[in-house]
Amino acid sequence: MAKTNAPTMKDVAKEAGVSLGTVSKVINGITVREEYKKKVEAAIASLHYEINTYARGLKTKKTGLVAVIIPNMLNPFFAALTDYIEDALYKKGLKTMLCCSDGIPEKEIAYLNLATQNKVNGIVALTYSDIGNFINPDIPIVVFDRFFENRNIPRVASDNYNGSMMAIEKLLELGCRHPVYIRFHSIFPGESDKRKDGYLAACKKYHITPDFLDMEDCDNFIDMMKQFIDKHKKSDGSLSFDGVFCHTDYHGYIFKKLLQKEGYRVPEDVQLIGFDGIRKFGGSKEDLFVSSMCQPLPQLAAKCVEIITTEDRSMIPSLTLLPVTFEDGGTTRSLKKG
């Protein structure tokens, strides 16, 4: 009967004609004589021996795992960024331990503890809870967007401030005279808060009276959007605004549908720009849901991975910002030529 048990390190040692200790050294990257190394590697290939990298990591205190903590996989932006992070980690020889926290602080803390117990090489966190005190200082970590007042943790984000100014400038360039801003936001501070700062700065620069709906995340945000539209209806049924900058593409898409339901044409009557660059079906070449200030997801992911794999932590900046770019998604007009 053919042998069905998987080969062991003892089998490798016997096949190579070396000691078990020599096999262990080769597997764990410890220097041995070149002839012994070649024998062990040939035996491993011959026997199809699979190295248990996880078990080896528990001994070396590095498992090759990186914990990626995100709020959920339902939001297309989180899903897309996670996909790029996983790809960037894989290219570095690292594996992803995906943790969906649903924005629940206790769940995020549990995942941080799990990451510590599993001796991960690092943590990439998209968190919107105040968990700064629960982060193990011995594990490299980078946070996307969010910052903690009680911990100095390196952050990676898009240039939200300038991206917002660019959005308003684009609306003005395309003929808008009164752009408004729609925001529903987390109670926890983050770089994305600067989108409102950018809107207000653009209003001041171009002598526009600020006009916005700015509320914390809530279940009845659609009703609040409807009320905002009703508040801005003039006696002839037209709207007092002709441009909209939304804090996210998701809210931009919802606002667009509400406008269309009320009989307003987008972009003929009202032009709209979101923020994020969320694409239909997730592919990088797919169409956008709305015209958007697109975050550079591949570059953001690569920067997060670069930070957690940098050995000299003193060389890592506290904040890294990457530029966003505008892309037409059908909710803005095209510039007239000629």
59-68 pLDDT, tens digit each:
555 678 999 9
State yes or no: pLDDT of 56 exceeds 60. no
- For the segment 182-211, the average pLDDT, to the nearest whole number, is 95
CA–CA dist 177, 333 (Å, integer): 14
Report which of residues 198 and 12 the model is more confident about: 198
The per-residue pLDDT for 31 is: 83
State yes or no: pLDDT of 150 exceeds 60. no
The per-residue pLDDT for 338 is: 39
Question: Residue 225 is encoded by which pair of tokens?
Answer: 């959007």
Nearest CA to 109 out of 67, 144, 149, 80 is that of 67
Give 303's pLDDT tier (boundaries 50, 70, 90). very high
* Average pLDDT score over the chain: 89
Give 300's pLDDT tier (boundaries 50, 70, 90). very high
- What is the H or E stretch that residue 114 is in? helix 105-117
Report which of residues 102 and 326 the model is more confident about: 326
Helix 194-205 to helix 160-173 angle (10° resolution) is 40
CA–CA dist 140, 180 (Å, integer): 40
CA–CA dist 285, 85 (Å, integer): 18
- What residues have CB less than 8 Å from 164, skipping those under 6 apart? 194, 195, 196, 197, 198, 199, 201, 202, 245, 275, 293
Instruction: Using a pLDDT cut of 90, give the percent of the chain over it.
Output: 62
- For the segment 308-326, the average pLDDT, to the nearest whole number, is 92
Ranked by mean pLDDT, the top range of 122-131, 135-144, 252-261 is: 252-261
Question: Residue 266 is encoded by which pair of tokens?
Answer: 């987008």
Task: Walk me through the domains of the chain, giving residue ranges and CATH numbers.
Answer: 9-51 (no CATH), 65-153 (3.40.50.2300), 160-296+322-327 (3.40.50.2300)
CA–CA dist 183, 209 (Å, integer): 17
- Which residues is 271 bridged to in the sheet? 243
State yes or no: pLDDT of 4 exceeds 70. no
Report which of residues 218 and 199 the model is more confident about: 199
DSSP string, 229-281: HHHTB-TTS-BS-SEEEESSHHHHHHHHHHHHHTT--TTTT-EEEEEE--BGG
CA–CA dist 198, 178 (Å, integer): 16
Cα angle 128-278-196, degrees, rounded to a multiple of 5: 55
Q: What is the pTM of this model?
A: 0.81
